[in-house]
Amino acid sequence: MKLPHYTFYTLFILFVGLVAAQPAWANDTDPEDEIPEYNEEEVKKRLEYLSQDLVEVKYVTAVKGYIKGYVLRNRKHSEIVLGRSIQYFPIFEHYLEKHQLPEALKYLPIVESALDPKAMSWVGAGGLWQFMPATGKERGLDINKYVDERYDPIKSTEAAMVHLRRQYDRFDDWALALAAYNSGSGRVSRAIKRARSKNFWRLMRYLPRETRNYVPAFIAATYLVDYFESHNLKPEYPELDLQITETIRVYDNHSFYRIAQVTDLPLDIIEALNPSYKKGYIPSSREGHYLTLPIRVMEAFKAYVAASRPDSKQFMPVFSGPVYFTRPSNQAKPSYIKSTYVVIEGETLRSIASDLKVSVHQIKAWNKLKSSELIPGQELIVFTPEKFKRLIDREETMSILAPIAVSSLKELDGYGFRSYIPKGDQLGHFFYFPIPEKMRPDELAAYLRQEDAEAFKQLNGLEKNKKLKQGTWVKVNR
């Protein structure tokens, strides 16, 4: 039977009444989880002390709306953004200082991408700084079927510095430079002519709606970072493997799968730290590409690269055995040592961070510091990684290769026999081959057209010339 409309209304009123009648203890919440009331007068006062003086601050409707969005409506999203700042603010600050630009510009990518390096807009802008493909290429970023450097946190940041400098040099005003960054210098120039003013707040009505709201959004993003604690927001910081990292330049091709083998890292960590590579591998380059990894495993990767180069054969004994095609175990959690650092007189957060090879943001986050001021004898919690050491591969028989999951492989064409490579590894040094019938290693080397049978046997750890079972996997130099 269909109930009349007034019945639904009555039921709704009853439901509200039942909720209101619950005892007080039923609604007890942890004070730390409570959402403070939005006090407009307090917010206005805080806006007078923002850590930016690039743009004139006005508490207009758009600014109010963005701030409320951060501290009331989208609190979970705000906590994620605040957590990401520990990864990306150190990069921004480094290149802002290098290019002699105001440090407060580090808040701009919060507006552009919510500090998500994989962000893409509906019009095709991508990365932390939301470059369109044409603009990215103009600023020297490579964009091809293998790499899109708009998503590289370091290279896109350097390109953004050049772009921002150019806009400021043109308008000599940061509010106008930010507007031009969003919608192009041509639109801003036309708005200046129509308004007969270079004051952003006077000419904003002549700009596209998104650009009118751009400076208010920048003000609100600054407010979020400066005053999130006043609104009981708790940054959702990423795991330490994403915080304590190192970036190097590599010139040869490296698949993410091989990097995972060498470092015992999960593939998702490698992908998260290197979002600019489209195919799961880094192509070779004369100029070099950036690779970012947790600092605790970087030495293992460097040793692997050194051992792989012909001019580094002195390191080969470390990797004398074959590198077996198996997924990283990842059974043990990354090992980080939590310790207490006692501040001595004359030390600063920056000097301590430099000595420990971490960032100021990390030390402040780990210790919930509201300021950068330290006093002698103050204790700081710090995390230092235990370096991952790659074990020497064991000399084992070919039975080790039997468990390879075909689902993790991609069939390779052009070799005259059925062979495979890891998915996403287009340029790897090896392919993998399941033996179609019983064969001795010498016969197999001839079948696979291997000129050096002894090298083939050594690569696969085959000491004796015994027949291998059908279906056994072998590794072959490409």
**CB count, 10 Å around CB of 242?**
17
Q: What is the DSSP letter of 414?
A: S
Answer for the pair 474, 418: CB distance below 8 angstroms, yes or no: no
- Which tokens belong to 200? 């952003």
Tokens 């970023």 found at? 141
- Known catalytic residue at 112: yes
Give the whole-angstrom CA distance, residue 114 versus residue 81: 6
Of the candidates 128, 410, 160, the one whose C-alpha atom is nearest the C-alpha of residue 276 is: 128
Q: Which of 93, 103, 112, 396 is catalytic?
A: 112
Please give the C-alpha separations between residue 169 and each of 10, 159, 178, 216, in angstroms, as whole numbers. 65, 16, 12, 22
**CB count, 10 Å around CB of 5?**
8
**CB count, 10 Å around CB of 32?**
7
Answer for the pair 221, 178: CB distance below 8 angstroms, yes or no: no
The DSSP H or E segment spanning 403 is none
The residues, ordered by sequence, that sit 6+ positions from 213 with a Cβ below 8 Å of its Cβ are 62, 66
Answer for the pair 294, 244: CB distance below 8 angstroms, yes or no: yes
**CB count, 10 Å around CB of 203?**
22
Give the whole-angstrom CA distance, residue 92 versus residue 104: 10
The residues, ordered by sequence, that sit 6+ positions from 359 with a Cβ below 8 Å of its Cβ are 86, 89, 90, 353
Q: What is the DSSP letter of 70?
A: I
DSSP 423-449: TT-SS-SEEEEE-SS-B-HHHHHHHTT
User: Would you name the residues annotated as active-site residues?
Assistant: 112
